[in-house]
Amino acid sequence: MSPSVEVIYKILVGWSQTTGPQYYKSLSEEYQNMTGQWYEPHGSWDKPLGEINVRLAEINAPPITVLVFLKGKNEPGGNFWGCADNVPEKPKNDTQRINKVFEIVKDVKEYHWPANLP
C-alpha cells in the first residue's frame, strides 16, 4: 500500500504555513503520527510526491513538494525536478538550482492552498 496523497498534501500545506521545508524523515514521522502507518524516509515518497505535483499542475499551483528536502541538503530529492508541468528541469549550476528551490519555496508559502488536494 502506498502513502495517501491526501494526507501528504495536508502535511505539506501545514508546513507551507508554519515551518517551511522539512526532511523526508519528518514527513515519515508526521505521516505516522496522523495515520499510524510508517513509511521509510528513503524510497517511499517519490511516487506520491510526484502525483501531488501532477495534480497541482492541473490547477496551475506551485509544486508544494519542494518543501521535502534531502537531509544535509538545501533542496528536494533528484526525482523532484521535471516531475510535472509545474516543476522546472534541474538547473545544472548549483547556485542557480538552490536559488530556484528557494524561489519555488517562496511561491509555495505565498499560495492560497485549497483545503483538499484537487
- pLDDT for 40 equals 94
For position 96, what pLDDT does the model report? 96
- Confidence at residue 53, expressed as pLDDT on a 0 to 100 scale: 97
Residue 1 pLDDT: 79
Q: Which residues pair with 69 in a beta bridge?
A: 23, 76
Cell triple for 19: 515551518
What pLDDT is stored for residue 59 in this prediction?
97
Task: State the virtual CA torsion across 41, 42, 43, 47 in degrees, nearest 10.
Answer: 50
d(CA 53, CA 82): 10
Phi, psi of 23 (to 5 degrees): -95, 165
DSSP 47-78: HHHHHHHHHHHTTT---GGGGEEPTTSSSB-T
Give the chain's length: 118
Model confidence pLDDT, tens digit, residues 74-98: 899 989 999 999 999 999 999 999 9
Residue 36 neighbours by CB distance under 10 Å? 7
pLDDT, residue 43, reads 86
Rounded Cα–Cα distance for residues 29 and 19 (Å):
15
**Residues of the chain where predicted confidence (pLDDT) is lower than 50:** none
